[in-house]
Structure 1
Amino acid sequence: MKTYNIFISHAWKYTEHYNKVVQWLNEAQSEGKFNWKNYSVPEHDPLIDPNTSSGKTKLKNALDAQIKPASIVIILAGMYAAHSDWIDFEIDTAVSYEKYIIGVKPWGQERIPTKVSNNADIMVGWNKSSVVDAVAAR
């Protein structure tokens, strides 16, 4: 069975969206569709303050270290408006390492941020089968 190293874009404010994607991937693994390793760390590190220049540098270094070994990067497009600087950095980092990017459209939202749609290898809907199928097709 194939194993995927996956980084899931996340923001601490949107933990429930991140957790839902993790749940879907865990269910797919339990169903024998594939194995996966989570290269994202959603919990906030209180030692890193992203509002300071040293904190931004630490967070960028941490994100780079998480994205580099991943084979797939999943971008949750619904968080984009509130966190575009960080998601831009995640997308740019994924592109620089030539990672396969899966963009996930927010539930019920028609408009997708251009940065996400222009860089995603595939855009999928906000549902388990779309996300799991996009991973398994890689």
Structure 2
Amino acid sequence: MPKLYDYRLFISHAWKYGDSYKRLTDLLDKASNFEYYNFSAPKEKPLFPQGTPLTNKKIAEAITNKIAPSQITIVISGMYVAYKDWIQYEINESVRMGKPILAIIPWGNKNIPKAISDVVPIENIVGWNTNSIVSAIRRLVP
């Protein structure tokens, strides 16, 4: 079997994201015939070493550097309200760079924040379902 294509994903999340980010990466890890590289900064590998003095400018630059090599930005829309400032920055940077954005509606949710629906076309908003998410990534990444 030929090697699978590695999709380059940036998954928007916050450090105190609960288990949504982990559940999404687990779902993607288990998806059939799907390989990806995660450009996000997981909890185990933070953007900055502990004790590094942080400024909003440094955080913004680090996020921009993570988004730049990715092919798509994935936003779990249920986290937007709690972490809107940085998630909005990630959305804005993705739009500025011409990256497609895939919004995932968490299990049990029906609505997504207006800030997401304003920039993400309806066909790029999917439910919490492995096939829907993987199919959308394949469709959105050239």
- What TM-score, normalized to structure 1? 0.86
1:21 equivalent in alignment to 2:7: no
Listed as ranges, the gaps of 5+ residues in structure 2 are none
Partner of 2:120: 120
Partner of 2:139: 137
Q: Contact conserved, 1:24 with 1:132, CA < 8 A, in 2?
A: no
Partner of 1:62: 62
In the alignment, residue 73 of structure 1 is paired with which amino acid? Answer: T
1:38 equivalent in alignment to 2:41: no
Q: 1:48 to 1:116 in 2, by over 3 A?
A: farther
In the alignment, residue 22 of structure 1 is paired with which amino acid? Answer: T
- State the Cα RMSD in Å: 1.7
Equivalent-residue separation in structure 1 for 2:92 and 2:25 (angstroms)? 23
Q: Contact conserved, 1:48 with 1:59, CA < 8 A, in 2?
A: no
Equivalent-residue separation in structure 1 for 2:52 and 2:79 (angstroms)? 20
In the alignment, residue 13 of structure 1 is paired with which amino acid? Answer: K
In the alignment, residue 126 of structure 1 is paired with which amino acid? Answer: W
In the alignment, residue 23 of structure 2 is paired with which amino acid? Answer: K
The SS at the match of 1:104 is strand
Runs of 4+ in 1 over 3 A off after TM superposition: 44-49
* Equivalent residue in structure 1 for 2:6, among 3, 6, 23: 3
Write 1 or 2 for the structure with the bigger share of helix: 1
Partner of 1:101: 101
The SS at the match of 2:112 is coil
- What TM-score, normalized to structure 2? 0.84
In the alignment, residue 59 of structure 2 is paired with which amino acid? Answer: L
In the alignment, residue 36 of structure 1 is paired with which amino acid? Answer: Y
**Paired residues, number:** 131
